[in-house]
Amino acid sequence: MSAYLQAEVQRLSRKLDVLQNRFDQMFKIGQLTAPTNEQSGTAISQIQFNAYETHTVLAVQDFGFASAPPLGSQMITLSVSGDAARKLAFGSHNAALRPLNTPTGGAVIYDATGTTIRLGNNGTVAITIGGVAILTVDAAGLVVTGSITASGDVIGTGISLDMHHHTGGGGSSSTSGPIG
């Protein structure tokens, strides 16, 4: 092989190595190693991929949702054009904290303490705190477990808790039910 062809093969080989490296950098999974910093109005996460590679990256989330994954969560990253200096985190997962038994078509919003908002695939919404379903809503109505505190008037079946009145109740007679 001529010296010219040999030089061209080496040049092309180096270019292929660069392309292979960029391809390898496109999608990677790493581990969150520092609390997400949101002081600038954007979520900045520190992600470690191995003992020698750690990046500080912008964590992109859908509009209307914000989260700060717990340390140790897995983060999926994308490097724009395979350039590690242009890396974005766009997904996170923590298997130890993920709620179980989500039905097909359902969704769960959850935090690290186990508080959940479950959107069932049957038209139900349930809020659970400390393992207790404290609020459930479905087509039949609303069920609350625990006390309800209201800072304003409560109205049920058109009758105000603050403004209702009763008939009777004088002396030893019994009081009627509330009247609007």
Indicate whether 169 pLDDT > 70.
no
Could you tell me the pTM of the whole model? Answer: 0.71
Asked if residue 105 has pLDDT above 90, the reply is yes
Chain centre distance of CA 38: 15
Query: Which pLDDT score, from 0 to 100, does residue 163 have?
Result: 85
Average pLDDT, the chain: 89
Pairwise pLDDT comparison (168 vs 157), residue with the higher score:
157
pLDDT one-digit tens code per residue, 47-103: 999 999 999 999 998 888 888 999 999 999 998 888 888 889 988 999 999 999 898
DSSP 2: -
Q: Taking Cα atoms as reference points, which of 27, 32, 74 lies closest to residue 55?
A: 32
Does the pLDDT at position 179 exceed 90? no
State how beta strands 27-37 and 125-129 pair: unpaired
- The b-or-e profile of 21-57 (16+ CB within 10 A means b, else e) is eeeebeebebebeeebeeeeeebebbbebeeeeebeb
If one compares 25 and 58, the residue with the highest pLDDT of the two is 58
pLDDT at 161: 86
What is the structure's pLDDT at 128? 94
- Secondary structure string (H, E, C) spanning 35-91: EEECCCCCCEEEEEEECCEEEEEEECCCCCCCCCCCCCCEEEEEEHHHCHHHEEEEE
- pLDDT, residue 34, reads 95
Sheet with strand 107-110: strands edge to edge = 107-110, 116-119, 125-129, 132-138, 141-144
